[in-house]
Amino acid sequence: MFESRSLHRRRFLAGTAAGAIGAASSVSCVSAARAQAPAGDAVKPEAKLEAKPLPGYVAWKDPNAFIVHSNQTVETKRGLVGSGVVTPINRLFIRNNVNPPPDSIVADRDAWRVEIAGVAGPRTLTLAELKRMGLASVATVLQCSGNGRKYMQDALQPGQKISGTPWTVGAAGCVIWSGVPLKAVVEALGGPVAGAKFVTGTGGEELPAGLKPKDVIVERSVPIATLDTVLLAWEMNGEPIPLAHGGPLRMIVPGYSGVNNIKYVKTVALTEAETDAKIQAASYRMHGVGEKAGPAQPSIWEQPVRSWITAPLEGGAAGRVLVTGVAFGGTNAVARVEVSADGGRTWTDAPFVGPDLGRYAWRLFALPLDLPAGTHVLVSRATDAAGTVQPEDTAPNGGGYSYNGWRGPAVTLRTA
């Protein structure tokens, strides 16, 4: 892994120098990872991706805000998450593991039923019943476990391969969820059964015919400690959750990566063991590149501390720029963020701006900088409340998960 990282850095530095000398235009916006490839290669794939139209089930979203990787993977363009802390739903990324259920499940939202198991008095409750049991609201960063995978893929050694969508930074947003605390529901049903160690949620997707259900079902287990924070949510950003984002009811595990937040949740069980569904047992595991994933490896649960710059993404006139970005700490609050305009050699603390929506939300930062004419490599580095500092890079892993390096999303730009 260390070899690979060193190589990445060497290639990165070489790429930056080449960009500085070779760029004909005064405006060049390329990520550090892309800077290392010949210009032709770097530009074409993204241009092709952007041209794909939004899939029909999310056609109501802002058509100009996305890079459509596939029908199930739709990435928010960098810089379009807005400056209001909360990401507008019509610009929020999409990632599904299985096709969404039909629209009919949101025709009568209050009639949606969720089975609560692994409690003293198991019951199936309607959404209407849940709404009378309590109300809480929490802002969380919703982020695909593979957000930033492209930076890992770009740093691989010859012969290595990481499959999966090459997300850069756009498989993430900050959302306010409203619903009932799972804890209130569990307590109303007599509390957890003895020995329960996990909260296991099952999605209501219609499973494709001809496949073993365990191979495709979206069923994830998270540690029972999350019982203190899990929400059964029916609203996002004040609106009923759209089907594409898991409505009518989604299980939200604050601070945990996207896959753990079960859409159209139909069962929530407190269980002794993790589910043996493939998505839990043999996917979303932290394993080496080329190794097989299995239940003994760490599961992709808590999101690591992370930040990236959202503006400027293009060069221009030398002089004053306002460097803005987002920073978050997963299950910890983010405590600090620094910005560098020289690729990480020197750092300046950047102030947070806007309301603090709590430990699971991201914070915006904004730092004015005076950039002389030349090439600048802008990066940001966050530190969480526990003192964990965002690393320069993240060692590649087999699934391309949990990238949180500050080097990958570097913005290289020229000012003149």
Residues found near a copy of itself in the complex (CB under 8 A): 81-88, 90-91, 131-139, 176-178, 235-239, 320-322, 324, 353-358, 361, 364, 366, 368
Residue 273 or 353: the one with the smaller Cβ distance to a copy of itself is 353
Rounded Cα distance, 211 and 223, in Å: 28
CB of 298 to a copy of itself, least distance (A): 30
Rounded Cα distance, 340 and 77, in Å: 22
Residue 182 or 300: the one with the smaller Cβ distance to a copy of itself is 182
C-beta neighbour count of 209 within 10 angstroms: 5
CB of 83 to a copy of itself, least distance (A): 4
Of the candidates 378, 369, 380, 299, the one whose C-alpha atom is nearest the C-alpha of residue 334 is 380
Residue 181 or 192: the one with the smaller Cβ distance to a copy of itself is 181
Of the candidates 77, 80, 79, 96, the one whose C-alpha atom is nearest the C-alpha of residue 88 is 80
Q: Where are the alpha helices (DSSP H) in 275-388?
A: 278-281
Residue whose entry in the numeric block shows the structure tokens 């529901």: 185
Rounded Cα distance, 237 and 252, in Å: 14
CB of 146 to a copy of itself, least distance (A): 24
CB of 178 to a copy of itself, least distance (A): 4
Residue 122 or 134: the one with the smaller Cβ distance to a copy of itself is 134
Residue 155 or 371: the one with the smaller Cβ distance to a copy of itself is 371
Of the candidates 1, 39, 74, the one whose C-alpha atom is nearest the C-alpha of residue 412 is 39
CB of 137 to a copy of itself, least distance (A): 3
Rounded Cα distance, 264 and 49, in Å: 29
CB of 81 to a copy of itself, least distance (A): 7
Residue 176 or 269: the one with the smaller Cβ distance to a copy of itself is 176
Rounded Cα distance, 349 and 282, in Å: 41
Rounded Cα distance, 342 and 410, in Å: 10
CB of 114 to a copy of itself, least distance (A): 18
Of the candidates 253, 88, 78, 244, the one whose C-alpha atom is nearest the C-alpha of residue 167 is 78
Residue 141 or 293: the one with the smaller Cβ distance to a copy of itself is 141
